[in-house]
Amino acid sequence: AEALTAGTPCIVANTSALTEWVDGRSCFGVDVPVKLSELVSLIEGVLDGKMGRDASSCNVRAKIIGWDEVAGLLERVYAG
């Protein structure tokens, strides 16, 4: 889920909790058991820009916050 939020294309198992995010553009599902050829094809398709959005468009500079900031935000929430 964090990778999707950062704009990174993801591949998830069709049996996982993330199947609701499978859209064929930024999140792709694979059947279990995973077939290596299918996984390789998905990865290559994303990297080549042939499937969904091009991996180069990922938001690789997404703001990553540290645990200290997370703790501070939670502290403010509970402080009311």
pLDDT in tens, the chain (80 residues): 788 877 788 999 999 998 998 998 889 999 999 999 999 999 998 888 777 655 555 554 455 578 888 899 889 999 97
Predicted local distance difference test score (pLDDT) of residue 33: 95
Residue entry with tokens 């599902």: 29
3-state secondary structure of 39: helix
Closest CA to 25 of 7, 6, 2: 7
Closest to 21 in 3D by CA, of 31, 30, 33, 12: 12
Residue 25 has a pLDDT of 87
Contact 43, 11 (CB under 8 A): yes
Query: What is the reported pLDDT for 60?
Result: 45
Decide: helix, strand or coil at residue 60.
Answer: coil
Domain boundaries, the chain: 2-79
What's the pLDDT score for residue 46?
86
